[in-house]
Structure formats: C-alpha cells, structure tokens
Amino acid sequence: MGLEFGVFDHLDRNDLLLSEFYEERLKVIEAFDRCGFYAYHVAEHHFTPLGMAPSPSVFLSAIAQRTERLRFGTFVYALPVHHPLRVLEEICMLDHLSRGRLEIGFGRGSVPFEISYYGQNAQERQQIYAERLELILKAFTVTTLCWSGRYDQFENVPMEMTPYQKPHPPLWYGAHSPDSAERAARRGLHIVTNDMPANTRAIVARYLDVWRDVHSGQMESAEPPKMGMVRFILVADTDAQAMRIARSAYLRWRSSFTYLSDLHGVTTQSPLQVDSFDTLVRQGQGIAGSPETVRDFLASQIAECGVNYVVGQFCFGNLTLEHMLHSVEIFASQVMPALRSKFDL
C-alpha cells in the first residue's frame, strides 16, 4: 500500500477576471499533472465566491484536455441541485473524454442556502442525496432504467451512455465522524476528512476496522481504499516567507468561506471556521513553511492518523500564480519523495 498525494480545490475567487482566473488555475493543474499527483478534486458551490465551479463537469472537461496522467473529479456533486440522469450522462462523458481518469464524489451539499436558492427543500437534502445516489449507481449497470422513488420517477429510460471504467468510476465520501466512516467502509468507498488530527485518527481507525471485517475473507489480495486527510499547504523557501503569504491568502479564502453565512446572519459550524492561518496550524489543519517544516508536519500526522492519502489545498485566497507554482514544485521535489520513502510499504 503506497502513500499517494492529491489536491482539493474550492476554486474560490480572487480579484482576477474569471477568464484569467480559470486559465491560471489550469496552469497550476498542469503542474500537478507534471509533478506526479494522484488526483485533483474540485468542490461544487453556488452563488458564493467560495466556488467558481458551479458546474464541475464543465471545469473538469477542460482538465481532461490539459492533462495526461492526473486523475480528477468532484468533492462533491451536490445531488439535490442536479437532475440525476443529467449528471449521470455528464459523468459518462467525462470518463470517456479522459479515458478513465475520473473519480467522483456525491453529497447532499454542505451549505443549505445554496440548495434553497435552487428552490429545493434544504431540510430534505440528505434524503434527496441518498435516493439519487442509489438511482445513479443502479443506472450505471442497467440497459433500461426504471425507478419509482419519492423524488424521481423514471420508466423504461434507455441507458445509451455508460462509463469508461466498469462498473463506474471510483467513488469518494467525505467522512466527518467514525459512524460515517463505517458506512463508507461497508460500501468500499474512498474517504477524505478535513477534521483535526484526533478526529481524523478516530475516523480512519473505525474505517479500517470495518473494512477489514467486511473483507476478512480476502485480506491477502484486497488493498484498502484511499483514506485521506485534507490540509492547507503552502511551501516557500523559508518559514517566515511561507507564513506571511499564507496568512494573507487564508483571510481572503475565509471571507469567501463565510460569505453566505454572513449574508444570512448565522455562524458556520465548521472546524475550518477560525480567525487566522496560525490557528489553523495550531489545530493541525494547515501548514506553511520550508520544505523541511512541511515534511515534518505531514510525517507526524500521517503516522498519527494512519492515512494513506495526503490531500493538499495548495490554491486558496489571493495566492498568485507564482506563489502556487513555486509551492507545488518545491512540494513535489522536496516533500513528496521523502514522505513516500518513509511511509511506502
């Protein structure tokens, strides 16, 4: 079981014209491809500067054409705002356009206001997500779809589109508690969490216990799915330089993160809702520093939490293209090889 590295990106807005913003981000994603990252995962958000990929499939189709080896996908498709057959067809298209490099996550949508803006009942988004997930997974494997659910009904729909990967692209789940990790383990889903180290350790431990129990009859041949932790990461030549850059960028990201909650006068319940990048570092959810500092921080957390997938949030706030490319290239050349050597089994 080898250690892998991935990327999570809110695609949160900065001051650039959107056309320039997208082009800069695609240049950074080309660097992820060159540098040997496993996958790039983009968030879906609506009506907020937190996410400039309200249609993840559109952005991912550009990535398919600009990269060669990098896998990519969603964290997550918010199913309450998607017609299930439409998103199914988009997934199939993306999987073929990339010749099987697609990874997909589905979810309920983390921000209820975004669901409400679409005219959907945000209070029922968990139920809508659960039903549509089952619908989509069934549709991947049948030639004609019949479905009679609470939220969707279909009769004798011909399934002309099928994925490149069989039976479907790899599935991901955002685990925020040991109980949610157990549900993911029983289904064999890859997991990620952005929680603090102690909670991450509990989530991964429960996942592994349940996964091993489910696969007890084939342990010699079965390799655990990816168990990932998401961390803000900024690498520069010195600790002082990195922290100076990260502090400013995080405040810009945080203003986007709280945009809708501030607009509605409520408080966001999230472990990322902190006042500064320094607090994020103290909580173990981010690091900015020299290659040595970043390597030591991540090595400690990998050992403590038991993860096999390190997911960096390398692009956030008002980081410049120069800052992002320099960070990614130093990370790939001076951090990744050392961590792989230490933790590859």
Q: pLDDT digits over 16-43, tens only?
A: 999 999 999 999 999 999 999 999 999 9
Q: pLDDT digits over 100-148, tens only?
A: 999 999 999 889 999 999 999 999 999 999 999 999 999 999 999 999 9
pLDDT at 16: 97
pLDDT > 70 fraction of the chain, expressed in percent and rounded: 98
Query: Which long-range contacts does 289-293 make (Cβ < 8 Å, 24+ apart)?
Result: 289/234, 289/235, 289/236, 289/238, 289/239, 289/242, 289/243, 290/235, 290/236, 290/237, 290/238, 290/239, 290/242, 291/235, 291/330, 291/331, 291/334, 291/335, 293/239, 293/242
pLDDT of 270 above 80: no
Q: pLDDT digits over 225-260, tens only?
A: 999 999 999 999 999 999 999 999 999 999 999 999
Average pLDDT over residues 193-204: 95
Strand locations in the chain (E) = 4-9, 39-42, 71-74, 77-78, 102-107, 144-148, 153-158, 171-174, 190-193, 227-235, 286-289, 309-313
Domain ranges of the chain: 1-43+229-345
When mean pLDDT is compared across 172-186, 213-227, 298-312, the lowest value belongs to 213-227
